Amino acid sequence: MLLCTVNSNAPIGIFDSGYGGLTVFRSIKEKLPQYDYIYLGDNARAPYGNRSFETVHEYTLECVQWFFKMGCPLVILACNTASAKALRTIQQNDLPKINPNNRVLGVIRPTAEIIGSFSKTKKVGVLGTKGTILSESYPIEIHHFSPGVKVYQQACPMFVPLIENGEYESEAADYFVKKYLGELLVQDNDIDTILLACTHYPLLMKKMKQQLPEHIQIIAQGANVANSLDEYLQRHPEMKTSLSKNQTTQFFTTDDVNDFEEHATVFFGEKVHAMHLSLH
């Protein structure tokens, strides 16, 4: 007799410091609707962007361990800051000790793999949090896949606080979009592609487009991360078959549930019902 051991509760975990990961989750769910998902926004401790490596690692690992307790065999860090500062340590040092069969994936590598192909001038601008930019993860990874591409970076420390506080359509947002785009483009006139290397930034896409000449394209990460997850699951049938497929979605936040539901709807594009998670 053949025994089937597929777990009926093995969702994919999607993590971000706050709301930003919802822009990636939206694309993942569109592409792969058959799976179960748990989203966690660590809003109570967001933004992560200016925090030290040690702190981002500690917070991210704590959340990853919670996902494992919730039954997730696979966790996506839908946060560039956590991917830049915590992913490698989690993959190399923590996972082998905590749960060698589980997997944690980030958003930097799948983006770095393809971004060079978008640029005709081979000059790419990267906007991210201070943590992501200072980590140099993007220039290193992009050069690995596209050695001929020049990468220019700009940290945008005010973007996440503005977005987390619902100020992404305000005049203050206009001011900082102009300031950071100006500081990026002054580095080279030929930049023709701007990568939003922070999952919060798509909320400012409209404002950025208003301020940029038409020949400069802006690339967000969602669709590409979703494609890359799909390919990963094709390459790893053992992971693919271990995931449960009941099409359920649960949202958790470490901060206020009502606030989360209100903002999350804008990021996710549909109504969100959330639960509170206390990590302490």
Mark residue 117 as left, alpha or beta (left: phi above 0; alpha: psi -120 to 50; beta: remaining).
alpha
Active site residue 4: no
Give me the residue label for tokens 């990636």: 24
- How many positions of this chain bind ligand DGL (CB under 6 A)? 17
Stretch in the footprint of ligand DGL (CB under 6 A) among 16-24, 96-104, 186-194, 231-239: 16-24
Active site residue 79: yes
Name the nearest CA neighbour of 208 among 199, 200, 217.
217
- Of 74 and 126, which CB lies nearer to ligand DGL in the complex structure? 126
Contact with ligand DGL (CB under 6 A): which of 12, 38, 75, 79?
Answer: 79
Stretch in the footprint of ligand DGL (CB under 6 A) among 94-102, 195-203, 210-218, 272-280: 195-203
Stretch in the footprint of ligand DGL (CB under 6 A) among 46-54, 178-186, 244-252, 259-267: 46-54
Contact with ligand DGL (CB under 6 A): which of 27, 43, 60, 81?
Answer: 81
The dihedral through the CA atoms of 201, 203, 208, 214 has a sign that is: positive
Residues 115-154, interacting with ligand DGL (CB under 6 A): 129, 132
Contact with ligand DGL (CB under 6 A): which of 11, 12, 17, 254?
Answer: 17
Please give the sequence-ordered ranges of beta strands (E in DSSP) within 81-212, or none if there are none: 103-105, 123-128, 150-155, 193-196
- Of 150 and 200, which CB lies nearer to ligand DGL in the complex structure? 200
Using CA atoms, how far apart are residues 274 and 280, in angstroms rounded to an integer?
19
**Within its chain, how far is the Cα of 40 from the centroid?**
12
Report yes or no: 152 and 126 within 8 Å, Cβ to Cβ. yes
Q: Which residues contact 57 (CB under 8 A, 6 or more apart)?
A: 85, 86, 89, 90
Please report, as ranges, the residues that interact with ligand DGL according to CB under 6 A. Answer: 16-18, 20, 46-49, 79-81, 129, 132, 160, 198-200
| Active site members | 79, 198
